[in-house]
Amino acid sequence: MKILIADDEAPARRRLRALVEELDGHTVLGEAADGREALMRTHELDPDVLLLDIRMPGMDGLEAARHVAGLEHPPAVIFTTAYGDHALEAFEAHAVDYLLKPIRRQRLAAALDRARRLTRAQLGVLGVHRQEAPARTHLCARLHGALALIPVAEIRCLQAGQKYVTVRDADREVLIEESLKGLEQEFGDRFLRIHRNALVAWAYVTGLERDVLGRVCVRLRDVVLPLEVSRRHLPQVRRALRAAAPRRD
């Protein structure tokens, strides 16, 4: 099988590579030093298995695994870690196995054999039916054939179309293949629903105004055009903004 190794410590990557090379039938395609790089290299290299450390700077292994599970052809994920307190979270991310460092050759071989028996279709189903987990810090989009990571803290609004959700930050708009309802459930404390097809980020709301047609709209910092508030959601939006005024001042 084709394997990608992700660990922020170079000695740990070298040890894992040496262990894999001792086993027949496996090839190391490459390495990554953090969760973001692991996601990007997974998209580029299309490995069968991702050996993924959990505690890494920036995007950790748990969040990286959640993004990987959303790829069109996700690899099997095997977590490798020096800590035993992430086992539940790892299996909620639908890892195939969870290996504690120092990793033994026989234990790695058994985990890779388990991964080999899972088809890509089965791994995709696992990704779709993942259990509740902490909210992500980034959203993942395909942009010009590559992957783009958008920090959730920089998102101004989310707008649903027929098949995609448009994510807007200060500089660009990108499309993601997720549902607005699912995003609201995951990030509800960050966003306010103003329309059946739109959520706006609390942190960037500057107020309400009426446009030339008399419609009530939300003004957002760094967004030129205000967004219409539906009549159905207007009372709730006004109550929410009044209640939030002290914390936003």
Question: How many domains is the chain built from?
Answer: 2
Per-residue pLDDT of 160-200, as tens digits, reads 998 899 999 999 999 998 999 999 999 989 999 999 999 99
Confidence of residue 49 (pLDDT cuts 50, 70, 90): very high
Tokens for 7? 């660990």
pLDDT surpasses 50 at 91 = yes
Domain match, 58 and 94 both = yes
Domain match, 143 and 225 both = yes
Beta-bridged to residue 49, according to DSSP, are 3, 76
What confidence score (pLDDT) does residue 195 get? Answer: 97
What confidence score (pLDDT) does residue 125 get? Answer: 55
**Is 204 contained in some domain?**
yes
Whether the model clears a pTM of 0.85, i.e. scores above it, the answer is no
Domain boundary among 128, 158, 178: 128
Give the DSSP H or E segment for 81. strand 76-81
**Cα 13–chain centre separation:** 24
Query: Considering just the CA atoms, what is the radius of gyration of the chain in Å?
Result: 21
Confidence of residue 130 (pLDDT cuts 50, 70, 90): very low
Domain match, 13 and 110 both = yes
Confidence of residue 111 (pLDDT cuts 50, 70, 90): very high
Containing structural domain, residue 67: 2-128
Average pLDDT (232-245) is 90
Beta-bridged to residue 209, according to DSSP, are 217
Domain match, 207 and 234 both = yes
Domain match, 172 and 204 both = yes
CATH at residue 67? 3.40.50.2300
Domain match, 174 and 95 both = no
Helix axes 120-128, 61-69, angle to 10 degrees: 110
CATH at residue 183? 2.40.50.1020
